[in-house]
Amino acid sequence: MTTSIPAAGQDSVELEIGGMTCASCANRIERKLNKLDGVAATVNYATEKAKVSAPAGYDTAMLIASVEQAGYTATLPAGKNSQPGADTADPDAPTDDHELLALRQRLIGAVVLSVPVIAMAMIPVLQFTYWQWASLALASPVILWGAWPFHLAAWTNLRHGAATMDTLISMGTLAAFLWSLYALFFGTAGMTGMTHAFSFTLSPSDGASNIYLEVGSGVTTFILAGRYFEKRSKRQAGAALRALLEMGAKEVAVLRDGTETKIAIADLHVGDEFVVRPGEKIATDGVATAGTSAVDASMLTGESVPVEVGPGDSVTGATVNVGGRLQVRATRVGSDTQLAQMAQLVEDAQTGKADVQRLADRISGIFVPVVIAIALTTLAAWLGTGASVTAAFTAAVAVLVIACPCALGLATPTALLVGTGRGAQMGVLIKGPEVLESTRAVDTIVLDKTGTVTTGTMTLTDVVAEPNTERVDLLRLAGALENASEHPVAQAIARGATENLGSLPTPDDFVNMEGKGVRGVVEGHAVIVGRESLLADWSQSLSSNLTQEKQRAENDGKTVVVVGWDGAARGILIVADTVKSTSCEAIRQFKKLGLTPVLLTGDNSAVAHRIAAEVGIDTVYAEVMPEDKVAVITALQAEGKTVAMVGDGVNDAAALAQADLGMAMGSGADVAIEAADITLVRSDLRSAADAIRLSRTTLKTIKTNLFWAFAYNVAAIPVATLGFLNPMLAGAAMALSSVFVVANSLRLRNFRSARG
């Protein structure tokens, strides 16, 4: 599915859709909307939203009415369509809470009422006098009230000629309930002393003496449990947008008549000048008018080295000032900022992500019509042989009852529970069952560089001294001076010096030469550390050897700091973002899984190709901005590739949402984690390989569960058509299938990480 893009003269409208229970519902709504003149729509089941492109001035009431005619609800999100990219909807909105609360109440009620019903039906010693009537009293609310969403969805599907898992659930539970009512009120099942004895012999049964209330209540409870946990997971769909928008500054110090005044960010206007102190976030997009500093823009560009900013340079809102005081003139505010546009990218990617049709619905679409056909054939065959109407209906209803797959309610939830639980132990958090199916066809894995393949922090990687200078002296004097600076590169040098030498001396007369470096006195030496141009200002030049080493390092995309003291250049310090120790092994594991690794980064081309060569990646996309990352993912998908994306930064959020499978490092930004399908708690790229292996294994287990969940019931259908079904045989078939499903799911506990 692709996101509809409004053409000229078109308006883009977003609708929140209610009442969908499966991906086929989304497809039905989409077809309904696309039948309207001039309308192009995409509907996403996971986010419960429809994105509609309609002629300018199109009455949105007609769109809503069209959705309602299909049997669903549609509303305009508060504040959404008036200000793109600014999701002002309350994450705890009453509608969301009410829907989830209602489902939870149904689940709790179903569990409390159905447990004694199942126990009495399966354990003869608990079948006291008139137990059958107690079962009716307890099961009725479960089957009628608890399963009401399934009955409603089944009716909606029926009106459109479709059959899904909801149809199967509704058909089986109502068949069991209605036949039980007949047996209790018009048969012999309601008589004093009636019991369900253990009898597994194949002999014709008197349908009027059997009740199947435990079937209806048990199936309802199992399915409600699965739907509740799925719904709770889906409620996180909008969290990525909220987390992204919350990254911006909340207040800003505006200059008014030469004095600083604190105002809310919403009151900032284009043209206002504001102050950004060291450590503060830049309030909005603008141009620096005074001061120089280093700005950490990695959230937008992925560039691991802070950007030096001075008067006339552009700055971006939500990036962090890590150097000196800056004065900035606002050029874009509100929904026009790059941060808001990134939020729009994330939302577009989420809305346009292809739906994964649920496996159970696909099976049900075939299974339901077949079962109904068998039941009708059974009824006709019995009547055609001259049997009584009661016997004919007994056999026909028995087919419907035994076809109601109790284990189907356990097939996905139990495997998902065990699989995700094992994943959590390994540091892999899987959001929902749809994620598992995405991993099946993944053939390309796109990797962010900074913080994913590399450590994401600047590290001192080499120290090159002149022949007449001791390496340890170069590191000690430069490290002592840099230790007094707040610049990220300076701090990397100070950390490296401390790790190698221990404590460092304290400098005197420390001076920060903005944008160039620092100078001061250390152990009686006048030391200068910074750019080559700073040393040139003090008539200190590099030797040809140091010049060659500096050029080689810069060609590899590394940062070089020059050191001199007592009137002469003494050496260079090389700083770079280093590859994680586990990244090479992770790339080998990806290739073993049949995946093609791709490096995608906002960093410069030299750095990207150096890192790629070091870990064994052949395909590199460098100097890519966030919106271009989405374009790269989309282009790969257009080539027929199924793409997984691993990232950790805000700049990766939209690409993570666009990818068929998004995986976020748990050490990364919250917005990246919320936009992803899988969270990798450990900052270890090998976890991504484990996640794919675990997901594929869990999906295989779910498919096996679904097969046997149906197989046990299908095997009993011939028995039911011959009129030999009795409650204990039905219960045994369902119990065996449930036991198998649970036991098969528990095998996932033995899954082992390839990390060793």
List the structure tokens of 453: 């393949």
How far is 508 from 518, CA to CA, in rounded Å?
Answer: 12
AA letter at 539: S
Beta carbons of 151 and 174 less than 8 angstroms apart: yes
**Residue reference for tokens 């949105």:** 60
List the structure tokens of 251: 């207040």
Which entry of 87, 296, 448, 660 is annotated as an active-site residue? 448
List the structure tokens of 672: 């990246």
DSSP-assigned letter for residue 191: S
Chain-centre distance for alpha carbon 281: 27
Question: How many beta carbons lie within 10 A of that of residue 569, not counting itself?
Answer: 22
What backbone torsions phi and psi does residue 564 show, to the nearest 5 degrees? -145, 155
Residue 484's Cβ-count burial label (10 Å; 0-12, 13-18, 19+) is: middle
Pick the closest to residue 747 from 709, 702, 713, 686 (CA basis). 702
- Sheet harboring 525-530: ordered strands across? 454-465, 568-579, 559-565, 525-530, 517-522, 508-513
Work out the widest C-alpha separation in the chain, in whole angstroms: 116
β-strand pairing of 259-264 with 326-332: unpaired
Q: Is 373 helix (H, G, I), strand (E, B) or coil?
A: helix
AA letter at 578: T
Beta carbons of 74 and 68 less than 8 angstroms apart: yes
AA letter at 436: L
How far is 606 from 620, CA to CA, in rounded Å?
Answer: 11
Residues 6+ apart with CB under 8 A from 564: 527, 528, 535, 538, 540, 570
Distances (CA, A) of 10 to 42, 52, 53, 59, 721: 15, 10, 6, 12, 58
Beta carbons of 44 and 355 less than 8 angstroms apart: yes
Question: How many beta carbons lie within 10 A of that of residue 532, not counting itself?
Answer: 20
Chain-centre distance for alpha carbon 337: 25
How far is 193 from 186, CA to CA, in rounded Å?
Answer: 16
Residues 6+ apart with CB under 8 A from 35: 66
Residues 6+ apart with CB under 8 A from 546: 464, 466, 562, 569, 571, 572
Write b or e for each residue in 278-304: b if 16 or more Cβ atoms lie within 10 A of its Cβ, otherwise e: eebbbbbbbebeebbbbbbbbbbbbbb
How far is 122 from 213, CA to CA, in rounded Å?
Answer: 11
618 is catalytic: no
Beta carbons of 227 and 41 less than 8 angstroms apart: no
Distances (CA, A) of 489 to 475, 512, 541, 605: 14, 14, 22, 20
β-strand pairing of 619-621 with 661-665: unpaired
CA neighbours within 13 Å on the CB side: how many for 338?
Answer: 22
Pick the closest to residue 266 from 279, 250, 286 (CA basis). 250
What backbone torsions phi and psi does residue 276 show, to the nearest 5 degrees? -125, 115
Pick the closest to residue 404 from 178, 230, 198 (CA basis). 178
Q: Which residues are designated catalytic?
A: 448
